[in-house]
Chain A
Amino acid sequence: MIRAFGWNEVLFIVMALRWTLALSAIAFVGGGIGGLAVALARTSSITWLRLITTGFIRLFQGTPLLMQLFLVYFGMSILGLGIDPWTAAAAALSLHAAAFLAEIWRGCIEAIPPGQTEAATALGLPWGTRMRYVILPQATKIAVAPTVGFLVQLVKGTSLAAIIGFTELTRSGQIINNATFQPFLVFSLVAGLYFVICWPLSFLATRLERRLARATAR
């Protein structure tokens, strides 16, 4: 029996938005923490740390997100951790975000003139203090725009979690479409909802960038 595409169906899809947002938030926080650690290791003077983290970044940048989701999902079951789309999607997207954010932030850290590190070092500041008070505050300013830009990619990327059975926005669209056979309407709504999330983020990125530009011109 074919269901009509009515308010209940719309509501079902709109409600699924929270899972997309939740997954994005988890991946962003997980990716942010991991990404910072990887970026710091990637820019350190310790060779083996640099090599390992470079490999990690290359691996995740050189493979499709969908494969990363599959590998984490099936890898978890092979390791006997059970098949849980939530955990798998969160883990895979966090790793993915960590790799990409690390690469973005590495660029921002390296964009700070070496004289800053030299001056801080000459003043006797150890590595951690130097990073925290001198390098990262400056790197953050230039990192904001590309980071929010990546967040937009990440939100859109969560749609792939539908394939391993995680019911977020895209998957709820597929479910409703299977019942109503109104693909154009259904997926227009789904796309519209992604846009409603992503467009303000892009807008925010531009605003933050402008405000920081003003602050640094002070």
Chain B
Amino acid sequence: MTAVDERTEPLNGPAAPSIAVRMEGVNKWFGTFQALNGIDLTVKRGEKIVVCGPSGSGKSTLIRCINQLEAIQAGKIVVDDIELGTGGKNVHRVRREVGMVFQSFNLFPHMTVLENCILAPTKVRGIAKAEAIATARKYLARVHIPEQADKYPAQLSGGQQQRVAIARALCMNPKIMLFDEPTSALDPEMVQEVLDTMIDLAEEGMTMVCVTHEMGFARRVADRVVFMDRGEIVEIAPPEEFFEHPHHERARVFLGQIQRTHKPADPATPTI
């Protein structure tokens, strides 16, 4: 990436709060099943967090609570100084500031790539169409697919679709980006192009919370790794420390399994 986005300016400006996300004592139940148990997590502005853990440990639920795709039953979440409690107040304000990328892309199939990108800016932010299109083209160029703007999602490869999904989220000018296993549904040869896009984004200073098992990405980008198990945060540590010397037995078991099943996508990064 060449030019530094204008977004990074106010982001690091003195007026901006230094805490992007603060979760305090967050509890979440699905019926009688407790999916999140006493979650405390603070994400600083510009920080990159990688969330990992076994299947069903609550990783998706955790990040989906940040933009209130899931309501919480106890605790407090503050996003960009906007407080979210259990009542569902302020959700619309928070969602404008938080972009999300899903495992299954979730592009709108009846719209072209460009239409996907301008829908929310025009309908939610009230930006003029021409301006929204210009912004969309800028971000599509940034994720290296400017030429696909007029195609439909079904005409693109999985990796291209996921990059469109990233561009679509960026078009809302979010302060925080959430990623829920963005490369898990991709064919192996397409994983790296999406990870590269995320690395670019990280280097531009975006605040990111990524659920991923791409350990190469975690080592390269993450400031801290959050390890979850059974709805709890078991361990939070910088990547080197977490991968080399995990404190908890559950983390060691998990890393052993990951090592066996996941090959690192980035050949430049040594295997853990």
Flag whether B30 is at the interface (Cβ < 8 A).
no
In the complex, residue of chain B having the shortest beta-carbon distance to the beta carbon of A119: B106
Contact A123 B172 (CB under 8 A): yes
Question: In the complex, which residues of chain A have a beta carbon less than 8 angstroms from the beta carbon of B155?
Answer: 218
Do B120 and A124 touch across chains, with their CB atoms under 8 A apart? yes
Contact A123:B102 (CB < 8 A) given known A116-B108, A218-B154 = no
Q: Tell me, rounded to whole Å, the shortest Cβ–Cβ distance linking B82 to chain A.
A: 13
Binary contact track B103-121/A, C-beta < 8 Å → 1, others 0: 0101111100000000110
Q: Are B102 and A118 in contact (CB under 8 A)?
A: yes
Q: Of residues 67 to 98 in A, which have CB atoms within 8 Å of B's CB atoms?
A: none
The minimal Cβ–Cβ distance linking B208 to chain A, given in whole angstroms, is 15
Residue pair A124, B96 in contact (C-beta under 8 Å) = yes
For this complex, 28 residue pairs linking A to B, each with C-beta atoms less than 8 Å apart, are A115-B104, A118-B102, A118-B106, A119-B102, A119-B106, A119-B108, A119-B165, A120-B108, A121-B69, A122-B99, A122-B169, A123-B95, A123-B119, A123-B124, A124-B92, A124-B95, A124-B120, A124-B124, A125-B119, A125-B120, A126-B92, A126-B124, A129-B124, A133-B119, A138-B109, A141-B110, A216-B109, A218-B154
* Cβ A122 vs Cβ B69 within 8 A: yes
Known: A119-B106, A122-B67. 17 other contacts (CB 8 A): A115-B104, A115-B106, A116-B108, A118-B69, A118-B102, A119-B100, A123-B119, A124-B95, A124-B96, A124-B120, A125-B124, A133-B119, A133-B123, A137-B110, A138-B109, A141-B110, A216-B110
| Chain A residues within 8 Å of B98, by CB | 122
Q: Does B152 contact A (CB under 8 A)?
A: yes
Q: Assuming the A-B contacts A133-B119, A133-B123, are A123 and B110 also in contact, with contact meaning beta carbons closer than 8 angstroms in the complex?
A: no
Task: Point out the residues of chain A lying under 8 angstroms from B110, CB to CB.
Answer: 137-138, 141, 216
Assembly CA distance A173 to B102 (angstroms): 61
**A134 contacts partner chain B, Cβ-Cβ < 8 Å:** yes
Q: Give CA–CA (A217, B172) in the complex, Å.
A: 29
* Residue interface mask A203-218, B partner, CB < 8 A = 1: 0000000000000111
The answer, yes or no, to whether B224 is at the interface (CB within 8 Å) is no
**Contact pick for B120, options A123, A137, A217, A218, CB 8 Å:** A123
- State the CA gap A155–B133 with chains docked (Å): 46
B172 — which chain A residues lie within 8 A by C-beta?
123-124
Q: Which of B124, B155, B168 has the most CB of A within 10 A?
A: B124
Residues of A within 8 A of B108 (CB): 116, 119-120, 134, 138
Contact with B along A103-134 (1 / 0, CB 8 A): 00000000001011011111111100100011
Beyond A122-B99, A134-B108, is A129–B69 a contact (Cβ under 8 Å)? no
Name the distance in Å between B108's Cβ and chain A's nearest Cβ: 6
Partner of B102, one of A115, A129, A134: A115
Residues on B with beta carbons closer than 8 Å to the beta carbon of A120: 108
User: Closest residue of chain B to A114, judged by CB?
Assistant: B106
Chain A's closest residue to B98 (CB) is A122
A218: chain B residues within 8 A (beta carbon) = 152, 154-155
Which residues of B sit under 8 angstroms from A216, Cβ to Cβ?
A: 109-110, 154
Interface 0/1 of A133-155, CB less than 8 Å to B: 11001100100000000000000
- Docked complex: A136-189 residues within 8 A CB-CB of B: 137-138, 141
Residue of B nearest to A141 (CB): B110
Measured in the bound complex, the distance between the Cα atoms of B107 and A103 in whole Å is 27
Q: Which residues of B contact A129 (CB under 8 A)?
A: 123-124
| B123: A residues at CB distance < 8 A | 125, 129, 133
Closest A residue, CB atoms, query B95: A124
Cβ-defined contact, A116 with B124, below 8 A: no
Cβ-defined contact, A123 with B169, below 8 A: yes
Chain B positions within 8 Å of A123 at CB level? 95, 99, 119-120, 124, 168-169, 172
A122, B124: Cβ atoms closer than 8 Å: no
Q: How far is the CA of A17 from the CA of B5 in the complex (A)?
A: 67
Complex: how many Å from CA A107 to CA B51? 36
Task: Please name the 7 residue pairs, one residue from A and one from B, whose CB atoms are nearest each other, closest first.
Answer: A119-B106, A123-B120, A122-B100, A124-B95, A115-B106, A124-B124, A124-B96
Cα separation A113 to B104 with both chains bound (whole Å): 11
What chain A residues lie within 8 Å of B152 (beta carbons)? 218
Residues in A with CB closer than 8 Å to B119 are 123, 125, 133-134
Which chain B residue has the least Cβ–Cβ distance from A217?
B154
